[in-house]
Amino acid sequence: MTSKENPVIGREGSQPKGVARRREILDRAIDVFRERGADGTSLRRIAEAIGISHAALLHYFDSREQLLVAVYAHAEAQRSAPDSRTGVDSILDAAVINVEVPGLVQLYSTLLAASLESRSEVGKTYFSERFDRLRAELTEDLERGQDAGRIRTDVPADHLAALIIAASDGLQIQWLLEPSIGLESTLRTFAELLLPPADGDRAGG
């Protein structure tokens, strides 16, 4: 169930009852964003879709931003459950899967932009830690790839990690605005850039 380290993000008091109800709310809220993105999703609309008052929502989440971050974290945790590998491919695969649910990409982009604002505390913390974690995992994976000869060694792995995440994020947005760019093929091209220069013409598996 991958609930060992799920970022709960809500209020502190983690009584079993509250946690269960919070999960219910998040599950319903995710559906709202799947359909409508972060667009018409005011607290009152979300609450209405769930069947409670908007004030009740704020009983579980201190602010709208906290709720939205929790929704995105919850959705992402669900998605990363199946494979849970930390490789380069998982990032690129995730990008292709993400754009199938424009509402979540939109939610991600909106929250990320908001996290840059000075007042954003929850968002800034969440995305800082998320990027730190993703970069660390990817760097490790790339270094293993370098040791195994699958990744070129003339460039630092941590740079590549940051670039892969950045390119993935940026391309998803470009694709939503112009689907003809070919998200998957473009990302595969990026993966080719990571290969070590072929000495002869030997292609690895």
Partner DNA sequence: GTCTATACTTTGATAGAC
Partner DNA sequence: GTCTATCAAAGTATAGAC
Residues in contact with DNA by CB under 7 A are 13, 15, 17-18, 21, 40, 42-45, 47, 51-56, 58-60, 62-65
Residue 65 interacting entry, from DNA, a second copy, none, C-beta within 5 to 8 Å by type: DNA
- Supply φ then ψ for residue 67, to 5 degrees: -60, -50
Q: Which is nearer to a second copy, 83 or 117 (CB)?
A: 117
Per-residue DSSP letter, 203: P
Alpha-carbon distances, residue 66 vs 36, 58, 59, 61, 138 (angstroms): 19, 9, 12, 6, 27
With CB under 8 A as the contact rule, the residue among 106, 138, 141, 145 that binds a second copy is: 106
Q: What is the largest CA-CA distance in the chain?
A: 67
Report whether 111 contacts 65 (CB < 8 A). Answer: yes
The tokens describing 100, both together, are 């199938």
**Whole-number Å distance between alpha carbons of 13 and 120:** 22
Nearest CA among 69, 84, 53 for reference residue 10: 69
With CB under 8 A as the contact rule, the residue among 9, 32, 38, 75 that binds a second copy is: 38
Where does this chain touch a second copy (CB under 8 A) — which range of 45-53, 67-75, 77-85, 158-166? 158-166
Nearest distance from C-beta of residue 93 to a second copy, angstroms = 17
Q: Which is nearer to a second copy, 53 or 128 (CB)?
A: 128
Where does this chain touch a second copy (CB under 8 A) — which range of 16-24, 50-58, 75-83, 179-187? 179-187
